[in-house]
Amino acid sequence: MFRTFSRLALAAFAALSLAAPATAAETATPWSLAVHGGAGVLERGELTPEKDKAYRAGLNAALEAGAKVLKAGGSSLDAVEAAVRVLEDNPLFNAGKGAVFTAEGRNELDAAIMDGATLKAGAVAGVTRTRNPISLARAVMEKSPHVLLAREGADQFSKEKGLEQAPPEYFYTEERWKQLLAWRKDHQAALDPTHLFGTVGAVAMDQAGHIAAATSTGGMTGKRWARIGDSPIIGAGTYARDGVCAVSATGSGEYFIRESAARQVCDRVAWKGETIQQAADGTMASITKIGGDGGLIAIDGQGHVAFGMNDLGMYRGAISSAAPTPRTAIYADEPSPR
Ligand code: ASP
Residue 251 in contact with ligand 1 by CB distance below 6 A: yes
Q: Record the pTM.
A: 0.90
Domain architecture of the chain: domains with CATH: 26-331 (3.60.20.30)
- How far is the C-alpha of 287 from the C-alpha of 237, rounded, in Å? 12
At residue 335, the pLDDT reads: 85
pLDDT in tens, 218-239: 999 999 999 999 999 999 999 9
Kindly give the number of the ligand 1 atom that is closest to the alpha carbon of 197: 8
At residue 41, the pLDDT reads: 67
pLDDT in tens, 236-258: 999 999 999 999 999 999 999 99
Higher pLDDT, 70 or 189: 70
Q: Whose CA is nearest to atom 9 of ligand 1?
A: 219
* pLDDT range class, residue 22, cuts 50, 70, 90: low
At residue 228, the pLDDT reads: 96
Kindly give the number of the ligand 1 atom that is closest to the alpha carbon of 254: 4
Of the candidates 102, 173, 199, 328, the residue annotated as catalytic is: 199
Residue 223 in contact with ligand 1 by CB distance below 6 A: no
Residue 149 in contact with ligand 1 by CB distance below 6 A: no
pLDDT in tens, 125-138: 999 999 999 999 99
- How far is the C-alpha of 131 from the C-alpha of 180, rounded, in Å? 21
Q: In this model, does residue 14 exceed pLDDT 50?
A: no
Q: In this model, does residue 277 exceed pLDDT 70?
A: yes
* Residue 73 CB-density burial (10 A; 0-12 exposed, 13-18 middle, 19+ buried): exposed
**How far away, in angstroms, is 152 Cα from ligand 1 center?**
21
pLDDT in tens, 293-310: 999 999 999 999 999 999
**How far away, in angstroms, is 215 Cα from ligand 1 center?**
10
Phi, psi of 156, rounded to the nearest 5 degrees: -65, -45
23 is catalytic: no
